[in-house]
Amino acid sequence: MDAGLKRELEAKVYAGERLTREDGIALYESDDLVWLGRLAHHRRTELNGERVMFNVNRHLNLTNVCSASCAYCSFQRKPGEKDAYTMRIDEAVRKAKEMEDEQLTELHIVNGLHPTLPWRYYPKVLRELKAALPNVKLKCFTATEVQWFEKISGLSADAILDELMDAGLESLTGGGAEIFDWEVRQHIVDHECHWEDWSRIHALAHRKGMKTPATMLYGHIEEPRHRVDHVLRLRELQDETGGFAVFIPLRYQHDFVDSADGKIRNRIQARTTMASPAESLKTFAVSRLLFDNVPHVKCFWVMHGLSVAQLSLNFGVDDLDGSVVEYKITHDADSYGTPNTMHREDLLNLIWEAGFRPVERDTRYNVVREYDPAPTLAERRAEPQQVWA
């Protein structure tokens, strides 16, 4: 990138001007990671100061049986496969109850598109979970699942969301977004929920008062222009509804360790490498700069590793996915040594050691507890530093 364009983009960011599609592509073309980080950190600090938000949640997958076979997915199983599972409702409740001692505030539930489970199962699970854990917020189902519920129930998304909210649903999850551009999407997504339905369902949730997350799966066969397009679609929708609370870039992962049957389910890994840490940091930074009307950008540390998660806090990120005690979708495909359990104390230390102030939040991003700011450099030098894998 030539110095003139760099100055022009810098001036726009510092003046708070909205960036264009061309600006986004130019930012991705820059190799000056430090410069990108500085710009994104400026915007992140304007919006969120030195805060890093987190919440104490548990991820629960009620079933891994799925009618679709998305090309990047190592989680799905077909009915009858050896490690296919579907939880009975009491089993799901028992698993959730195991987390009570962790002062759990949120359950994050996503699932395969099960071919024969009836629609009634889903509100029933929510009601039972809510009865067992009344103080826990339920963040459940992707827009893809809601569209699936339309198909299996014959009801509209409007009626489905009403019933799920009545059963205790606090928010949808942000998944199913992947990359919206059809040029890429047709090669990686096998279900029927694309931009039109995904955006319709989130906009509906926003009109009903929900704050929802939005994700983007990057680092596979897409190009930076597809990432820019993805964010600009979301930014436009956000202008209309204001209902997105957070944007979560998710790094595509290869299927290194498949379970007992030794099958590799991920069909695109022969065609792609995975995004490097530098590419991930760039993606966080450009996303923060382009998606100017979303309040938060999140790093889901399970997919990035803890060191990249700490670094991401200087590249536009102000939210870390919380105290995950068990997470199956990623860890069916992961052999990076990233722990799959993280508790409140670990997360606090991770944030303090990166130089930020931890803030515990709830599902709607209300502050639950503000912690002390990060210790000073002199205070930190007095203690041996922890090395995060």
Q: Which amino acid is at 338?
A: T
Based on CB atoms, which residue is closest to ligand SF4, 173 or 238?
173
CB of 84 vs ligand SF4, minimal distance in Å? 12
Residues 95-134 interacting with ligand SF4 (rule: CB under 6 A): 112-113
Burial 359-372 (b: 16+ CB within 10 A, else e): bbbbbeeeeeeebe
Instruction: Compute the least distance from the CB of residue 127 to ligand SF4, in Å.
Output: 24
CB of 105 or CB of 144, closer to ligand SF4: 144
Tokens 């700069």 found at: 289
Helix 157-166 / helix 143-153 crossing angle, nearest 10 deg:
110
Site map 144..173 versus ligand SF4, x via CB under 6 A? x-----------------------------
Residue placing its CB nearer to ligand SF4 in the complex, 142 or 171: 142
Q: Is residue 86 close enough to count as binding ligand SF4 by CB under 6 A?
A: no
Angstrom distance (rounded) from CA 244 to CA 296? 9
- What is the nearest approach in angstroms of ligand SF4 to the Cβ of residue 227? 19
Q: Among residues 56 and 66, whose Cβ is nearest to ligand SF4?
A: 66
* Min dist. Cβ of residue 42 to ligand SF4 (A): 35
**Residue 193 known to bind ligand:** no
Least distance from ligand SF4 to the Cβ atom of residue 75, Å: 5
Backbone angles phi, psi at 52, to 5 degrees: -125, 120
Q: Which stretch binds ligand SF4 (CB under 6 A): 66-74, 203-211, 267-275, 362-370?
A: 66-74
Instruction: By CB under 6 A, name the one of 14, 20, 21, 69 that touches ligand SF4.
Output: 69
Contact residues for ligand SF4 (CB under 6 A)? 66, 68-70, 73, 75-76, 112-113, 144, 190-191
Q: Which residues are annotated as a binding site?
A: 66, 70, 73, 178
